[in-house]
Structure 1
Amino acid sequence: MRRSAAQKEETRKRILEEAAMAMRVQGHEGISVADLMKRAGLTHGGFYAHFASRDDLVAHAVDRMFNDSRAILRQYLGEKPDADGLAALIDFYLSEHAMLRMEQACPLPTLSGEASRLPKAARLRFEVGLDTFREGIRRALESSGVRDAEGLASSVMAEMIGTMAMARVMSDKDRALAILSASRHNLKERLGLAMK
């Protein structure tokens, strides 16, 4: 019996979800098509019914991850970003929960270091995701009356991404949490945001 288009789309979504989780934790080189399909409860041979190649999968998984990031931006910054929303975004992004739940968190701390080695289509989609995130921060800074919101947005993003990457490599959880806390405090203080 032939599977319906809806069933095929649901299967594709499941594969992408598994790929996005794997990439957030292991990077794009950590994705094995055979392991991925097994985790999705599918056969290795079924992969090519959904993707032209592993590179095609990686590009679509990057899209999937940044869809989640855009949802986070909408949640905290919305259509009219403000200082409170930006402070809440910083608190969320640099939280213990985000540190421990890599498979669900923003892909930037994990993948930024290897983005230049992603397949071309994935690299271009990664850049779009990065620009979208930076633009959300820029708009929030600008609406808060910050001068040079463009330049500052890049600096804020770099600190958030770097802080989370650094915290995740710490073997001492208390030390990692202290790094996150210090960065949250210092970023909000530097930006003149209400301390939360």
Structure 2
Amino acid sequence: MADEERMSEATTPKERTRARILDEAAKAMREKGADGIGVAALMKRAGLTHGGFYAHFENRDDLVAHAVDRMFQDSDFLLKRHLAENAAAKGLSELIDYYLSDETRKRTDGGCPLPSLGGEASRMPAAARQRFSEGIQAFRAALAASLTAFGSPDPESLAASVLAEMVGAMTLARTLDEDAARVALRASREQLKRRIGLPALSN
């Protein structure tokens, strides 16, 4: 979901301010990790004063937990756009193409948080870890539902495997140079589609 859409859903000045803080926190966490988000720097980034932070969050741990929620809202929007609005085969194919695209690789400040933060989730505050786990479960459940509709055998296990491969492929691609990353992502798209039973060709 675009930041502008979220801001338009906020109905009061306080809600709009909170949404702005969370949008900036989510971007900062994707770029620098949970440990790289400081209250003072974040509020400055959001164009707000340090003192205003505590009108919206109890402490930094509370902010991190809600920022994790914000990031998985983006994942939920992505899943609904591709899976809920299309037939199963088309939706799964489009999701794989988008998730493992060069565009997604370059956009490190947005989208699904798993490639950026999966490795450090275990070190997050307890509430953030719980919300991270719930986000993973929701993503996997959405994949399983589409795989069930597609007629895949053992869709639950396949969904867990597909999610792990997508996240791992994107995480790896972001460590490679441009050419190697494109090759790796294309190979992952094709192999995933072949394994699921979808047409393997992609852009």
- TM range, normalised to the smaller chain? over 0.9
Cα distance in 2 for residues equivalent to 1:80 and 1:126 = 27
Letter in 2 for 1:186: Q
Q: 2:138 aligns with which of 101, 124, 132?
A: 132
String of CA shifts for 1:136-167, please: whole Å, max 9, x gaps: 11111111111011111111000000000000
Which residue of the partner structure matches residue 178 of structure 1? 183
Q: Mind listing any 5+ residue stretches in structure 2 that lack a counterpart?
A: 1-10
Local SS of the residue matching 1:76? helix
String of CA shifts for 1:57-105, please: whole Å, max 9, x gaps: 0000011011111011000000675011001000000001110011112
Q: 1:108 aligns with which of 109, 114, 123?
A: 114
Cα distance in 2 for residues equivalent to 1:183 and 1:80 = 22
Which residue of the partner structure matches residue 50 of structure 1? 56
Cα distance in 2 for residues equivalent to 1:62 and 1:32 = 15
Q: Mind listing any 5+ residue stretches in structure 1 that lack a counterpart?
A: none
Which residue of the partner structure matches residue 128 of structure 2? 122
Local SS of the residue matching 2:54? helix
Q: Is the 8 A contact 2:85 2:91 kept in 1?
A: no
Q: Is the 8 A contact 1:24 1:105 kept in 2?
A: no
Q: 2:150 aligns with which of 128, 140, 144?
A: 144
Local SS of the residue matching 1:121? helix
Which residue of the partner structure matches residue 196 of structure 2? 191
Which residue of the partner structure matches residue 86 of structure 1? 92
Q: Is the 8 A contact 1:81 1:139 kept in 2?
A: no
Q: 1:72 aligns with which of 51, 69, 78?
A: 78
Flag the structure with more relative contact order, 1 or 2, with Cα contacts below 8 A and sequence separation at least 6. Answer: 1
Which residue of the partner structure matches residue 7 of structure 2? none
Cα distance in 2 for residues equivalent to 1:39 and 1:81 = 41
String of CA shifts for 1:16-73, please: whole Å, max 9, x gaps: 0000011112111110111110010011111111110000000000110111110110
Structure 1 residues 79 and 181, CA, compared in 2 at 3 Å: closer, same or farther? closer
Structure 1 vs Structure 2: percent identity of aligned residues? 57
Cα distance in 2 for residues equivalent to 1:139 and 1:84 = 14
Could you state the TM-score of these two structures normalised by the residue count of structure 1?
0.94
Q: 2:39 aligns with which of 17, 33, 39?
A: 33
Cα distance in 2 for residues equivalent to 1:97 and 1:193 = 22
Moved over 4 A (4+): none
Could you state the TM-score of these two structures normalised by the residue count of structure 2?
0.91
Cα distance in 1 for residues equivalent to 2:120 and 2:152 = 32
Q: Give me the CA root mean square deviation.
A: 1.2
Cα distance in 1 for residues equivalent to 2:73 and 2:44 = 24
